[in-house]
Amino acid sequence: MSLRRIFLLPASLVTIGLFLVPMTIVLAYSLMTRGPYGGQGLPLTLENYQRFFDPLYGEILLRSFWIAGETTILCLILGFPLAWYITRSGPRRDLLLQLVMLPFWTSFLVRTYAWVFLLRDTGLFNTILMATGIISQPLPLLYNHGAVLLGLVYTSLPLAILPIYSTLERLDYSMVEAAADLGAKPITTLFKVILPIATPGLRAAAFLVFVPSLGTYLTSDLLGGGSTILIGNLVQNQFTTARDWPFGAAASLILMAIVLVGLWAVTRNGEDVL
């Protein structure tokens, strides 16, 4: 056996045993029927997938799409000018980029919890507003759609800035100057020169924000409470309290199918993820 094969063997075993086999089990479960006391068995059925045509569950799917879409658009709009600013700031570039990434690398859980601390009824915002007499009752800032959206944008924004920055960094600034010299307005330069060049970065950013937002569980759980159930929460719920594993498995695979379409869309031009 060649050295290369020996080196690849442990990783192959981990990939098969801890990824491909578990995913196959989920696929099998999604086609089974739930037993009377939980568990799963025959007959095989497509009913678990059909339940997404039920408005109750279809709505969860649509809501997940909607909030992931909102997060993506906000992150691109908010991230693009900052990425541009960093590329144009000369020697301070590395520092500014690290300042974007630093909160990203620290704890996801803590960053989400920070918003619970700020937004809840006894949280900092409400305490300040009440102490200054602006309001007399705490505002319901937490456990709603807006709070989840805020949490998602907050945690995903660095993921959007990084790939946009890497494409803008390669942009030859003399092209922007040339456009200006030839009489283009800044807005024309933006749409005709800068954005076309930044498209691969924007596409990567959209993917990196959309996919985790679509499958989010922790953000909607901590900031949305019971009011903003997304597909990730549905999956978690079916595998824990509801004990309907076949339905949870079907929901997981629908999620995976969407993710794979996204992955295909980003990598079809031959760019590798790894």
Q: Scan residues 31-70 and list those touching another protein (CB under 8 A).
A: none
Which window, 41-49, 150-158, 162-170, 197-205, contacts another protein (CB under 8 A)?
150-158
Q: Does residue 236 belong to the site contacting another protein (CB under 8 A)?
A: yes
User: Applying CB under 8 A, which of residues 45, 51, 69, 85 lies at the interface with another protein?
Assistant: 85
Closest CB 46 distance from another protein, rounded Å: 19
Q: How far apart are CA 274 and CA 99, in angstroms?
A: 25
Q: Does residue 235 belong to the site contacting another protein (CB under 8 A)?
A: yes
Which window, 42-50, 54-62, 93-101, 165-173, contacts another protein (CB under 8 A)?
93-101
Closer to another protein at the Cβ: 59 or 88? 88
Closer to another protein at the Cβ: 97 or 202? 97
Q: Which of residues 3-32 bind another protein (CB under 8 A)?
A: 3-5, 7-8, 10-12, 14-15, 18-23, 25-26, 29
User: Applying CB under 8 A, which of residues 93, 239, 242, 243 lies at the interface with another protein?
Assistant: 239
Q: Which of residues 171-230 bind another protein (CB under 8 A)?
A: 186, 211-212, 214-218, 222
User: Applying CB under 8 A, which of residues 73, 116, 180, 197 lies at the interface with another protein?
Assistant: 116
Size of the site for another protein (CB under 8 A): 83
**255 closest CA partner among 217, 206, 202:** 217
In the chain the first and final C-alpha atoms are separated, in Å, by 26
Which window, 41-49, 139-147, 151-159, 167-175, contacts another protein (CB under 8 A)?
151-159
User: Applying CB under 8 A, which of residues 123, 140, 146, 200 lies at the interface with another protein?
Assistant: 123
Q: Does residue 257 belong to the site contacting another protein (CB under 8 A)?
A: no
Q: What is the 3-state secondary structure (H, E, C) of the chain?
A: CCHHHHHHHHHHHHHHHHHHHHHHHHHHHHCCEECECECEECCCCCHHHHHHHCHHHHHHHHHHHHHHHHHHHHHHHHHHHHHHHHHCCHHHHHHHHHHHHHHHHCCHHHHHHHHHHHHCCCCHHHHHHHHCCCCCCCCCCCCCHHHHHHHHHHHHHHHHHHHHHHHHHCCCHHHHHHHHHCCCCHHHHHHHHHHHHHHHHHHHHHHHHHHHHHCCCHHHHHHHCCCCCCHHHHHHHHHCCCCCHHHHHHHHHHHHHHHHHHHHHHHCCCCCCC
